[in-house]
Structures are given as C-alpha cells and as structure tokens.
C-alpha cells in the first residue's frame, strides 16, 4: 500500500539520485580540476569550467528538495540528523559555499598565475569536501549509532562518534569516487579534441576501478559499521539479483570506456550510479535513521503530508520542463563548442 510517507520518501530518494547524477558530477569536475596535469592541464581545466558553468547552481535544487522534505515531512528525523551530524553537515555546506565562491572569484579576481592557482585550489578542495561529507552523513545515518528516544525526541550523541568512524568515511570516499567517475565520463563528450577525450578516458578508468574498490571496502566494513544495511544487502530476496545487475552494468560501463564508446558509457555509468543509490535506499527502508527512526514513526500528520504531495506535484510540473529547457540550451549537441585555451585566455577558466 502506498502511504503518504512512502510517496514522499520515494521523492526524496529520486531527488538524491538526481543530485548525485548532476551536482555530484559537478563536484567530480572539481576533483579532476585538482588533478589536472601534463601539457594539457589548462585545457582540461577550461573544459571542466565550460561544462559546469551554465548549470552548476541549478543542480543544488535537488539537495534543497531533500532538506525541505525532511524538515517538513519527517521533523523528528530532521532534528536527530541535524543534531548528531551537525559537524559533517556544516563541513558539507562550507564546501558548497567555498566551491561556488572560488568558481566565481577565480574568473573576476586579478588575473595572475598566483591568484588563479589560489582560487583553483579552493574550488578543488571544496569539490572534494562536499561529496565526502555527504557520504559520511549517509553512512552515519545507516550505521545504527544514532539513538533517539522517539517519545521525547532526545538524541543520545556525543556529536563525534556517529560519523567519525571507518564505515561512514568509507561511504564518503565511495561517494567521492562515484562523482569522479560521472564527471570523467561526461567530460569525454564535452569536447571533440581526441587528446582531451583520452585524458578523461584514463581518468574514468581510474575512477571506475576506485568505485569497485570502495564498494568492496564499504561492504566489508558494513559487517560492524552498519549491520542492518549488511543484512538487507545480504539476505533480502531482491539483493542478489540486484547486485548481479549492478555489477553487470558496472563491468559493461568499464568495457565501453576501455573501447572508447563514450556515448554508451555516458548512459551506462548514470544507470550504474542510480542502481547503487537505489539499492542503498532499498536496504535502508523502512528505517530513516537506523535503528530507532522509521519513515512511519517520524512522519508528520497526514494533514501536513497531503498538502506537501500536492505542492510536489505542482513543483514537478514547473521544475522538470524548466530543467529540460536548461539542459537543452546548454548541453544540446548543437551547443557543443571546441573552445581552446587560446580562445578563452590563459586564466579565464571560471564562470559565474
């Protein structure tokens, strides 16, 4: 039976998937900006900026949707998460602000090598901090170390141990590698320069291997770090077929990257990431904050949830066409540009 809280939980999960596929790829671009090397380093950074600039602010809409729905529809869970995990959440927000500010300032500040390097470093660091802290937060929520008295709402926490542990950080770096993989694969189709395509092909292969390694490490650490999730992934009837499907898509994606089938890879990698996040949601359900808070025992009254769903329906009607138009304008094949470093200048590889 589709309850109101189940529908809103589904919207939150879908929003998280979209945010990882879009905003996560933007963070991945910042990661590769940090590791831009070789004779084409400036061209790599210019391509990253060219790809991110038109859309990166809009992609944060999906994170805002998640936060607002959590606050309105599941207030007890919102209070517990924001209390126990306020340190990683604050670090994540600082990373978002630093990244956005540096992205603008490195374009409009004094155009010198020193200034450009400084802002690029801040941009890259912010792009690393944010996905790691997002993953740490998700890992801590699933770990079962946040205990809440459902009657009083009291959160039993020391503000540190719930997230400063191996499993949450494994999920944090797993999230980082997913963002890096998405960005590298997307960037292979943002240019017609075969040398730049080859640069990001190599980075995509490195990221794909890293994703596999971090997935394995996270699963191993989940035995002690998140036993509820481990049981969900190991024993549920859907788990083995789902994991086989996810693994098959991942291997197929690596094969396409290896063989330079970039357009197919750009379809398969988002499917792989979607399956990973969706699988986490299935394993986590019905818990919102493991083990004490579920979607049902923390949900607001139906008199709140019903109007929220109505507003969501109206928002989808307005938001989806707007995003489609945004991407059609800036990401359509007809808009692809072959700008080189010389065309944009040696320092102007940022954009508002």
| pLDDT digit string, tens, across residues 171-190 | 999 999 999 999 999 999 99
Q: Is 259 left (phi over 0), alpha (psi -120 to 50) or beta?
A: alpha
Each residue's pLDDT tens digit, 128-171: 999 999 999 999 999 999 999 887 878 988 999 999 999 999 99
pLDDT at position 332: 64
pLDDT at position 335: 44
Each residue's pLDDT tens digit, 61-78: 999 999 999 999 999 999
Of 297, 282, 305, the C-alpha closest to 80 is 297
Each residue's pLDDT tens digit, 45-65: 889 888 887 777 788 899 999
Which two structure tokens, joined as six digits, stand for 154?
């009291």
Distance CA 144, CA 234 (A): 17
Over residues 35-46, the mean pLDDT reads: 87
Percent of the chain with pLDDT over 70: 91
The predicted model scores a pTM of 0.89
Which two structure tokens, joined as six digits, stand for 241?
């077929």
On the question of a cis peptide bond just before residue 286, with omega within 30 degrees of 0, the verdict is yes
pLDDT at position 336: 46
Whether 345 shows a pLDDT value over 50: the answer reads no
Q: Which residue has the higher pLDDT, 340 or 293?
A: 293
Alpha-helical segments (H) within 285-335: 295-298, 302-331
pLDDT at position 5: 95
Which two structure tokens, joined as six digits, stand for 181?
């993989």
Distance CA 49, CA 153 (A): 45
Whether 349 shows a pLDDT value over 70: the answer reads no
Each residue's pLDDT tens digit, 225-260: 998 888 777 767 788 899 999 999 999 999 999 999
Q: Which residue has the higher pLDDT, 337 or 261?
A: 261
pLDDT at position 113: 67
Of 141, 131, 23, 16, the C-alpha closest to 67 is 16
pLDDT at position 324: 87
């Amino acid at each position: 039976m589709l309850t109101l809280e189940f529908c809103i939980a589904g919207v939150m999960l879908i929003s998280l998937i979209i945010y990882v596929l879009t905003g996560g790829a933007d963070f991945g671009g910042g990661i590769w900006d940090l590791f831009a090397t070789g004779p084409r380093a400036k061209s790599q950074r210019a391509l990253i900026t060219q790809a991110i600039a038109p859309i990166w602010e809009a992609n944060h809409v999906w994170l805002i949707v998640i936060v607002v729905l959590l606050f309105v529809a599941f207030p007890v869970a919102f209070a517990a998460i924001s209390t126990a995990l306020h340190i990683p959440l604050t670090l994540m927000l600082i990373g978002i602000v630093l990244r956005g500010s540096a992205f603008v300032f490195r374009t409009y500040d004094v155009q010198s090598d020193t200034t450009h390097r400084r802002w690029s470093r801040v941009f890259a660091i912010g792009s690393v901090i944010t996905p790691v802290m997002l993953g740490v937060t998700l890992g801590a929520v699933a770990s079962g170390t946040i205990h809440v008295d459902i009657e009083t709402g009291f959160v039993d926490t020391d503000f540190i141990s719930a997230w400063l542990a191996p499993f949450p950080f494994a999920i944090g770096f797993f999230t980082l590698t997913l963002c890096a993989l998405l960005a590298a694969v997307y960037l292979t189709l943002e240019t017609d320069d075969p040398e730049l395509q080859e640069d990001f092909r190599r980075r995509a292969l490195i990221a794909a291997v890293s994703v596999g390694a971090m997935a394995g490490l996270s699963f191993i650490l989940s035995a002690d770090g998140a036993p509820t999730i481990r049981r969900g992934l190991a024993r549920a009837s859907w788990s083995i077929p789902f994991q086989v499907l996810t693994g098959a898509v991942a291997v197929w994606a690596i094969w396409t990257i290896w063989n330079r089938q970039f357009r197919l890879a750009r379809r398969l990698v988002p499917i792989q990431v979607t399956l990973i996040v969706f699988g986490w949601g299935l394993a986590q359900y019905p818990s919102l904050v493991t083990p004490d808070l579920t979607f049902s025992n923390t949900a607001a009254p139906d008199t709140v949830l019903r109007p929220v769903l109505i507003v969501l329906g109206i928002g989808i009607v307005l938001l989806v066409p707007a995003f489609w138009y945004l991407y059609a304008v800036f990401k359509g094949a007809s808009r692809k540009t072959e700008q080189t470093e010389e065309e944009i200048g040696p320092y102007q590889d940022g954009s508002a």
